Amino acid sequence: MAESINLKLKIWRQRNTKDSGHFETYDMPGVSTHMSFLEMMDVLNDRLIRDGKDPVAFDHDCREGICGMCSMYINGRAHGPLKGTTTCQLHMRHFSDGETITIEPWRASAFPVIKDLVVNRSAFDKIIAAGGYISVNTGNAPDANSLPVEKVKADEAFDAAACIGCGACVATCKNASGMLFLSAKVSHLALLPQGEPERKERVMRMIDAHDEAGLGSCTNTGACEAECPKEISISHIARLNREYLRAGMSQE
């Protein structure tokens, strides 16, 4: 494997939400194949700053595949070409010498561009604020076995809780639906006894918040699951629908 490759980056530049935006192309010679994708972006920005130019704005935080901040569309794929991988976990060895890499922000009306590759994902915050929590009496830490949970349900809840809220599901869905994110949060709490007291109200409030944020309806194509870096299953969307029907019937 070559130690370094020469690349051309075609990056979306947009000064603010109101700006129409455009692509700019940058030559990147001698990129180490050992770099992560974000390290490569750091090298580009360092060069732009030294040249007195505006660096490319992009979100990042943990750089460990946990926080979901590193959201980019890379060559037409959310988080790039690898399955089950966030942008920060993507390395330059997966690209070819002489390749042109197109980098864009998430494309969804509910995620307006703030600048360049940074989008406003507060729509997800509103969904969580509507019901992504439990209300419990505080005090001494309870014994770990005081609320037994079936192994199957515990595993399913854990898989749902793996969602990092990056928004790849919204960016990938042709309807810009956030149903995979929403269903993961609802499913996580619906499967656990701690989430039972607010189970019915939670799903109603969170779906209302989803729709009010301007996120679309599920397409049932499975694109969200295919592009999710944590490989959240669309079976959680089926559970979300059951939870919603159950809550609706109880109100009649």
Amino acid at 24: E
Q: What is the pLDDT of residues 13-43, one digit of tens each?
A: 999 999 999 999 999 999 999 999 999 999 9
Instruction: Name 98's Cβ contacts closer than 8 Å, sequence gap at least 6.
Output: 5, 6, 7, 8
Residue with tokens 């569309």, as numbered in its chain: 73
Q: Which CATH architecture has domain 122-250?
A: Orthogonal Bundle (1.10)
pLDDT at residue 137, rounded to an integer:
72
pLDDT at residue 227, rounded to an integer:
96
- CATH 3.10.20.30 for domain 4-104: yes
- Domains of the chain: which residue ranges? 4-104, 122-250
DSSP string across 78-105? ET-SSTT--GGG-BGGGS-TT-EEEEE-
pLDDT at residue 1, rounded to an integer:
61
CB–CB of 29/6 below 8 Å?
Answer: yes
Pick left, alpha or beta for residue 68 (phi over 0 → left; psi -120 to 50 → alpha; otherwise beta): left
The residue-averaged pLDDT of 152-176 equals 96
pLDDT at residue 213, rounded to an integer:
96
pLDDT at residue 50, rounded to an integer:
98
